[in-house]
Structure 1
Amino acid sequence: MSIEPYQRGKSWWARGRVEYHGVPITGYYRCSTGASTEAGAWQWCREEEERQVRRHLLGEEEQLTFAEAVMLYPAKANEARYLLKIVPELGDTPCAQITPRAVRALAKKLYPTASTDTWLRQVITPVKAVINNAHDAGKCPPIRIKTFSTAERVEQDKARDKVSRRERKPGSWEWIDQFSQHASPYLSALAEFMFETGARVGQAVALTPKDIDMKSLRVMLPASKGHPAQWVAISPEMAIKLANLPPRRPKDRRRGVLLEPRVFGYSRNTGPLKAWRTACKNAGIDYLPPHSAGRHGFYTELRVRQGVDPITAAKAGRWSNPALPDKIYAHNETSDSDVRTMIRSTRVHRPGGKTLKAMKGGKE
């Protein structure tokens, strides 16, 4: 028989033997696939069968080390920075011998005072990406590493005496108006643009004059987070605000060159941060990062304050899954005391101590 998956609790396991022309070439499997879905478990079984048949025909597979796997991986700048700390720890270890438990332990070792979110972003994710990229090239088995649970996150926050995942405060029109009174025209327009369109700060600062279609009242937002570049409608008021901003050519300080003209005049997403913080301070308002003031404010404005349905709000903000923004970007703005008042306001007062059944004309 071949390896086949079966469900055990909430996870999927594998059982059976790998056969070649009807002859077993491995021992009996009874192990976890690390998958949470049946499709993922079947994929694990097929990949394991292919690996064992290849080993049976060609002999022991080449033991690709993690350092060699890193050389195969097209790492981005941030990933490369994280991998510089990981390679000295795992570099000489064959990828096939790296276990999920070892990777999770390494995260705690490298960043003992960091949050579990940091462990996931700076260790778990890059290690998985490197090994699975090598697996795609047929160099080693894949690896699946579960994320840290809520209990682990709470335990680590307690150990480092610091709370992670603080609730974001979304922007509002009142916040935007106060902010704009103490910001430059470019910074004010940037904040209002993100709040109106739900654009990310990186998308907004990358806009060039050719990306604006004033006649059709729309802008071409750059690709971001796996979504393609696309036209997004803007209001007439926003169009006027953008039309009154002479494009500026920001300087790339790293290369010492002037870039092409940008609508808001910044070279990259970090460009407005210093002035942004100063404007908040001078306005005497809470400091809201651009993402909170813009994208979080955009969705909360539509979904919570104006009651727009989740499908429409998600589409307007270019979320493919409507459940995601409701979970992350919609922020409650009703206090607990107001909730209690709302609950008690609907209480049925029964005069004379009568039961509800008696009040409706029924018998006691």
Structure 2
Amino acid sequence: MPLEIFRRGKVWHYRGTINGRRLRGSTKTADRKIAERVKAEVEARAWQRHFDGPGAGLTMAQVFTAYLDAGKSDRFLLKLAAHWKDTPVEDIQAEMIRRAAKKLYPSANEPTWNRQVIKPTQAAINHAADLGWCPRISVKRFPENPEVKTPVTTKWVRAFHAQATKDDLPHLGAICLFMFATAARVGEACRVTWADVDLHSAMATIYLFKPKPWSRVAHLPPEVVAALANIPSNRKKDELVFGYAVRGSLRCAWNNVALRANIEPLTPHCCRHGFATEMLRKGFDVKTVAERGGWRDATTVLRTYAHAIEDKTVTNALFGTPVTQRKTKKRTKN
């Protein structure tokens, strides 16, 4: 709506929207005629900025370029830039971005649409807005009801490793133990080379490249060291420890081993989930679990990986009575 003036106390203020940009402020006068002139000047400057300012003719391609030039993450931007191309930013509406999410990833679900389209597109446009090029944009996220993953247990991991060893798949059994013991993501584990592993010191360096490159050093328990030592290899520094180039290359073998071991068909990521859950259950504080597992934010561990114990008799522990832990109740995100 066009600018209008309104009175607050003795002073007149203005408010309204010019080409999608919300304006609000004080005229700093109690004289209505002067306030009307101030309002008109503000409105004129806003339109001039739109037509002649840095944002005039601004395209999405320029927005993404400026975003990357500022050192922001390039994650998911290539596909977005190819989709929007030279679309004028002034033509972009929130609902268009929501529709683009479904078009770009038709087989995906709500969390993917939010993470890979809505969030980065909105971030890029709002970065341009911070530069004074265009108005900010707010896009309603799709409601999420993510699938809750079941964490692996030590018993599950040992059964998987035993079956993989029986099937002459030492690499697969070892990567399972490794992910459970270090909370490494499957992609991180696949990238580990022998140069990253020191069996004598029982340490491994794990690298994460997205959204920002960083690394951490993880301790290897004796059971994991033994599994790694039993992998047939020449131990060349640039050789992949587990022999899987990408995470998808182990999926089929992983599922088959779980089936033959007669255990629940859990995914590799459930090993990371299991690390957090088991460490919390054994009484380690959240901060320690987050640092040892490579979570930068300890609240993520509680929000995503903590599980409540169903057994109501756990309160017996207050009086020193033994408690038998039963099934866990999965926590879902609202």
CA distance in structure 1 between the aligned counterparts of 2:47 and 2:233, rounded to whole angstroms: 61
* Cα 1:71–1:56 shift into 2, 3 Å: closer
CA distance in structure 1 between the aligned counterparts of 2:171 and 2:274, rounded to whole angstroms: 19
Unaligned runs of 5+ in 1: 4-12, 29-50, 154-163, 250-258, 347-364
TM-score, normalisation: structure 2: 0.68
> Aligned to 1:16, which of 9, 13, 25?
25
Secondary structure of the equivalent of 2:42? coil
2:78 match: 80
> Aligned to 1:128, which of 122, 127, 144?
122
Alignment-mate amino acid for residue 42 of structure 2: T
CA distance in structure 1 between the aligned counterparts of 2:275 and 2:317, rounded to whole angstroms: 31
| Residue pair 1:69, 1:131 contacting (<8 A) in 2 also | yes
| Residue pair 2:287, 2:298 contacting (<8 A) in 1 also | yes
CA distance in structure 2 between the aligned counterparts of 1:331 and 1:194, rounded to whole angstroms: 20
1:166 match: 147
Secondary structure of the equivalent of 1:145? coil
2:273 match: 296
Secondary structure of the equivalent of 1:26? helix
Residues 230-268 of structure 1 deviation map (CA, whole Å, 9 limit, x = unaligned) = 22221233223222223479xxxxxxxxx9411111112
Alignment-mate amino acid for residue 117 of structure 2: V
Deviation of 1:273 after TM superposition, in Å, equals 1.3
1:230 match: 216
1:209 match: 194
Q: Determine if the alignment matches structure 1 residue 316 to structure 2 residue 332.
A: no
Residues 118-175 of structure 1 deviation map (CA, whole Å, 9 limit, x = unaligned) = 3313431342254356557775444343423xxx45xxxxxxxxxx412210011111
Q: What is the number of equivalent residue pairs in this alignment?
A: 281
Deviation of 1:324 after TM superposition, in Å, equals 1.1
Deviation of 1:201 after TM superposition, in Å, equals 1.0
Residues 52-104 of structure 1 deviation map (CA, whole Å, 9 limit, x = unaligned) = 599289557431233554576769685534665x43xxx56411332324423
Secondary structure of the equivalent of 2:287? helix
RMSD: 4.1
1:177 match: 158
CA distance in structure 1 between the aligned counterparts of 2:202 and 2:316, rounded to whole angstroms: 47
Unaligned runs of 5+ in 2: 1-10, 14-21, 29-37, 319-334
Percent of residue pairs bearing the same amino acid type: 35
TM-score, normalisation: structure 1: 0.63
Matches within 5 A, 1:91-110: 91=85, 93-107=87-101
Work out which structure has the larger RCO, using CA pairs closer than 8 Å and 6 or more positions apart in sequence. 2
| Residue pair 2:55, 2:132 contacting (<8 A) in 1 also | no
Secondary structure of the equivalent of 1:193? helix
